[in-house]
Amino acid sequence: MVSLADVRAWDHAALDEVFSVLQIRTQILIHDGDDYGKIVPVEGWSGPAADNAAAQHKTHMQALDAYAAGAAALGKAVGQASDAIVAVQSAIYNADELARKYGFAIADAGGIADAYAGKQPPPDLNPDDRERIHTQLVDEIAQILRTANDLDADLASVLDRAAAGQFGTGNESTVAAAAADGLAAPGITASEPPPNATPSQASAWWATLTPAERDILIRDRPGTVGAMDGLPGSARDRANRAVLAQQETDLRRQREDIQRRMNGLKMSDPQQQTEHHDLQSQLDRIDGRLSELDKVGKALAQPGSRQLLVLDGGGDHLKAAVASGNVDTARNIVTFTGGFGSSVNGDLLDYDKRMDQIRQDADDLSERYGHGGKSAAVTWMGYDAPQSVDVLGTGKAEAGAGKLAPFLQGLDASREGDPARQVALGHSYGSTTTGIALRHAGADAAIFAGSPGIDTGNITDLKVPPGQSYVLKNDGDPVATSGWFGKDPVDMPGVHHMSTDRSYPADGPPLDATSGHSSVDQYLRPGTTSQHNIAAVVADTPAQLTLQDQPGFEYRMPGGR
């Protein structure tokens, strides 16, 4: 077993030199070996001596083939190992930097020491952030050592096999062919992701892979990569787009096959009528799924940058998450969760349009009044939202929160030591889902719109900093007044009540009031006080909020009025 000190001391430059020498020696073997292969048989030479020479020549050629195959395989493995060492040592460097930033130090034995043990950390180091980073560092060191041990074992295996002459068939027609066989043999393989990986563990695993290994995984196992919370948005997007295309191709092929079978049936035959009915049901399901995939494709094709972060075909309905902007580089990320009746087929395009506008407005507010950082807006439809009487219970919300929480954690973990400011936004039943998720995953701010309750009466149950929870409640919204899933967030101490009335910003046109329960047509509608407030929370420009806080519902207008 290798130690962290061993990995720190590994010299990839030495392997680069070995790689260069092996390439040169392999080319010499190929050139001289194939020349040697041509000297026998000698024209006109026959008899016992010729037969003996031919036998010896064949033995020599088999040895040359084994040498060339082994040298080619070893050269490939050494080159891969050198690249892998760079990736692993880069992961160590990044872990060291992250540790220093949060007041930790990584020992050569792999332990993590607290620089502030017994002392009070500086006030800018949030205790919750330090706890999260400590967990992340533990996962990163464990994965670095896991990858390093896999690498060490793989390279040792190639060395042993090359020494034993186990590469190539020994019956290639030329030495060049033998070298090609050796080059085609498996060399250093990417380490497998940890089983049941947490977002932090998945991020740590990805960090230890070389760019070539990542590309191969996205190409060969897009479903695995696309589904892993904790991986960069760019990687998940590439993988999920590949899955999207493959699913569409497979479904269209299945549809054509079913249609051919249906066309060949005789409707006058009762048995074939039954078969026709069953096939029609299959066809309807396929058409429904194709329609859902089409909506995802149309969302990705909208103007501006989009990332496909989730594509889950399990269950009766497709689940997806589409980001407007770049979650890998954005300073702020808002994740929106819809509620009762929401679906990819019915709502993704409208939700995406509204969230994209919020992103643009947040960028404008940030540029004018804030830190100038860019935002990304995620439309998260990664759970089976209730479609019927199941809306009366929290079962779907709890199941959805079980998926939303690791998604939010993954957005943080994928950013290494540069996490974005995360805002969780939930509407209606989606606010209940969001509230439950925030008991397990942290966010820098939370917004509950048209909420029937967040399954708790105490905002401190959520992993949200004090003063960073907000509620929007329209006049005439029966769901928001129901208190079906707990205390109305408007009445919770520590929750800011943002106005949805008509308002008059100091430096812009009036903003319209909203009413009723709709998300797309009301709470998220551009040009409204509600939508403006959401964008201001995302942009982290609190002076631009219009609050209606208790006591007395006293307005605080944009600009501090």
pLDDT class for 53, splitting at 50, 70, 90?
confident
Q: What pLDDT score does 129 carry?
A: 84
Helices (H), 170-269: 175-184, 199-207, 211-220, 222-226, 233-263
Of 58-72, 111-125, 433-447, which one has max mean pLDDT? 433-447
456 and 316 housed in the same domain: yes
28 and 144 housed in the same domain: yes
pLDDT, tens only, 241-265: 999 999 999 999 999 999 999 999 9
pLDDT, tens only, 413-423: 999 778 899 99
Q: CA-CA distance, 459 to 435, in Å (whole number)?
A: 9
Q: CA-CA distance, 299 to 324, in Å (whole number)?
A: 9
Q: What pLDDT score does 391 carry?
A: 95
Which residues, in sequence order, are CB contacts of 558 under 8 Å at separation 6+? 503, 505, 506, 507, 536, 543, 544, 545, 546
190 and 318 housed in the same domain: no
Entry pTM: 0.89
199 and 319 housed in the same domain: no
330 and 455 housed in the same domain: yes
Q: What pLDDT score does 549 carry?
A: 65
Residue where one domain finishes, among candidates 205, 223, 256:
205
Instruction: Return left, alpha or beta for 476; rule: phi > 0 is left, psi -120 to 50 is alpha, else beta.
Output: left
Q: In this structure, what token pair is assigned to residue 376?
A: 């990304």
Number of domains in the chain: 2
Residue 255 belongs to some domain of the structure: no
What is the overall mean pLDDT for the chain?
Answer: 93
197 and 316 housed in the same domain: no
Instruction: Return left, alpha or beta for 416; rule: phi > 0 is left, psi -120 to 50 is alpha, else beta.
Output: left
162 and 308 housed in the same domain: no
468 and 336 housed in the same domain: yes
509 and 369 housed in the same domain: yes
Q: What pLDDT score does 515 carry?
A: 97
Q: In this structure, what token pair is assigned to residue 55?
A: 């036998």
Percentage of the residues of the chain whose pLDDT score is greater than 90: 77
Q: CA-CA distance, 357 to 360, in Å (whole number)?
A: 5
Q: Is the pLDDT of residue 399 over 50?
A: yes
Range of the domain at 102: 4-205
**What stretches of 278-393 adopt beta strand conformation (E)?**
306-312, 319-324, 332-337, 375-381
Cis peptide before 510 (omega within 30 of 0): no
Percentage of the residues of the chain whose pLDDT score is greater than 70: 98
Residue 282 belongs to some domain of the structure: no
Residue where one domain finishes, among candidates 145, 173, 205:
205
Q: Find the range with the poorest average confidence among 126-135, 306-315, 400-409.
A: 126-135
Whether the CB-CB separation of 320 and 347 falls below 8 Å is answered with no
The residue among 329 and 58 whose pLDDT is bigger is 329
Q: What pLDDT score does 62 carry?
A: 85
Q: What pLDDT score does 494 carry?
A: 93
Q: Is the pLDDT of residue 457 over 50?
A: yes
Q: Which helix (H) or strand (E) holds 295?
A: helix 270-300
Residue where one domain finishes, among candidates 205, 239, 263:
205
Q: Is the pLDDT of residue 506 over 90?
A: no
Q: What pLDDT score does 550 carry?
A: 47
pLDDT, tens only, 171-198: 788 889 988 988 998 889 888 898 899 9
Mean pLDDT, residues 140-159 taken together: 94
Q: Is the pLDDT of residue 461 over 80?
A: yes
Q: CA-CA distance, 281 to 98, in Å (whole number)?
A: 54
Residue 280 belongs to some domain of the structure: no
pLDDT, tens only, 520-551: 999 999 999 999 999 999 999 999 999 986 44
Q: What pLDDT score does 553 carry?
A: 39
Residue 256 belongs to some domain of the structure: no
pLDDT, tens only, 465-480: 999 999 999 999 999 9
314 and 184 housed in the same domain: no
Whether the CB-CB separation of 451 and 429 falls below 8 Å is answered with no
Q: What pLDDT score does 551 carry?
A: 47
Q: Is the pLDDT of residue 554 over 80?
A: no
Q: Is the pLDDT of residue 51 over 90?
A: no
Q: CA-CA distance, 146 to 470, in Å (whole number)?
A: 43
Q: What pLDDT score does 556 carry?
A: 54
**Residue carrying structure tokens 């930790």:** 104
Kindly report the CATH number assigned to the domain that includes residue 447: 3.40.50.1820
Q: CA-CA distance, 537 to 550, in Å (whole number)?
A: 19
Q: CA-CA distance, 396 to 394, in Å (whole number)?
A: 6
Mean pLDDT, residues 17-33 taken together: 90
Residue 247 belongs to some domain of the structure: no
Q: What pLDDT score does 470 carry?
A: 97
Which residues, in sequence order, are CB contacts of 356 under 8 Å at separation 6+? 302, 304, 324, 377
Q: Find the range with the poorest average confidence among 230-234, 272-276, 346-350.
A: 272-276
Mean pLDDT, residues 357-385 taken together: 97
